[in-house]
Structure 1
């Protein structure tokens, strides 16, 4: 196997990983959005101590300008899923790649804000939110890596 073949085959995985992780993000953030609007306490997360999903998801930081951050997360992952379908990875147009990159940059900035709020303002961590944060960071890394590499040859 040549270096080009090995490199080309590994690069072909990134779009599918981004699509898969975005879809998982839709599911997790949809669950958090559902819990937000139903005021549910079925978060399957401890509700006391440092790990306290209810404390985080019901804090003043659970909304931004009156919009639940869970809903913003859901919209982010829906957008990332749409931008990650195979046709948008293959197009010659630069806008899907730029939109993906802009999306993950905004997503990471928002994650940094939310982690700051959890650690230094709320003094609690939500496990479900941490899954969303981790997915966003991995998406950021994958999209940046794929954007920096030359296009795949078919």
Structure 2
């Protein structure tokens, strides 16, 4: 009597497990996408003096092709969810058709898992070496991607193991090259030259040296009368800017104002939230429920992230000159 080999449990449950993880990933990235598009702040556990999730979401690497990176993550997780459940939802299909769909979706799951693992690995590198923040959402996403890869490889019997390695090499190379190309602008330190055409100059900043607790990084731009007038107006109406000296986006805000105008902001408007920063007032920041930097409080309303001066002029009812030199 010949006994049929029992199906390993991992083969039975691999697709449901992949679908469950993809569902969690889609919910997480969907939430982050909404928060990014609406200008909100993501819920995260923040530690004093340590950059967190909202600093990551406001970093140059959090936007790709003008859209939140989380949106592309949501699309990737949704695709993995569909690939995992497609054969399970087609039980009534013909046996040959179902086997063909199952085979194709396994390859799509493998390609997706490899690509997401490589991409997540690069994001972990950026998180540790460039942004220097602790983001539980990012770490969870990386774990999800690696779980996909493990479950995809172990979740079925692959007839040609060598083909897996060949696919991994090709997909890995394409993903890495594409990732480096997508983030090429964010990885470069942008200079901030003075405009010679009378048009505003776009500001971007990626630090290459550690910040000084006394002032962060040196402000390399200069102010015109418009920036100085707006700074004086913000002082007059009692506006507040909550910052941390180690925050690159806070420095971008400084560069947009310029050295002379930001001295006015620094003296009367700025609130340093880092405990080890010069004149740090973390208790005030905690009382104001500040979750990300920079955050402006103007006329009782909160505005998170780097603000163009046109926007600050608008929300503060500034009526002076608006020929500002820089923008984000």
Kindly indicate whether residue 122 of structure 2 is the aligned counterpart of residue 113 of structure 1.
yes
Give the 4+ runs in structure 1 shifted more than 3 A.
Answer: 47-51, 147-150
TM-superposition CA deviations, 1:53-76 (whole Å, max 9, x none): 011111011123333210111000
TM-superposition CA deviations, 1:35-94 (whole Å, max 9, x none): 111121242331653450011111011123333210111000000000000516953243
- Pairwise CA RMSD: 2.3
| Compared CA separation, residues 10 and 116, structure 1 to 2 (3 A) | closer
Within 5 Å, give how 1:44-63 maps onto structure 2: 44-46=44-46, 48-50=48-50, 52-63=52-63
Within 5 Å, give how 1:98-137 maps onto structure 2: 98-137=107-146
Residue matched to 1:12: 12
More strand as a share of residues:
2
Deviation at 1:95, TM superposition (A): 2.1
Given that residues 51 and 127 in structure 1 are in contact (C-alpha distance below 8 angstroms), is that contact kept between their aligned partners in structure 2? no
Within 5 Å, give how 1:31-50 maps onto structure 2: 31-46=31-46, 48-50=48-50
Residue matched to 1:80: 80
- Alpha-carbon distance in structure 2 between the residues aligned to 1:97 and 1:72: 21
Point out which structure has higher relative CO (alpha carbons under 8 A, 6+ apart). 1
Given that residues 47 and 53 in structure 1 are in contact (C-alpha distance below 8 angstroms), is that contact kept between their aligned partners in structure 2? no
Consecutive unaligned residues of structure 2, counting only runs of 5 or more, are: 90-97, 160-328
Q: What's the TM-score once normalised by structure 2's chain length?
A: 0.41
Q: What's the TM-score once normalised by structure 1's chain length?
A: 0.84
Deviation at 1:103, TM superposition (A): 0.7
Rg larger in structure: 2
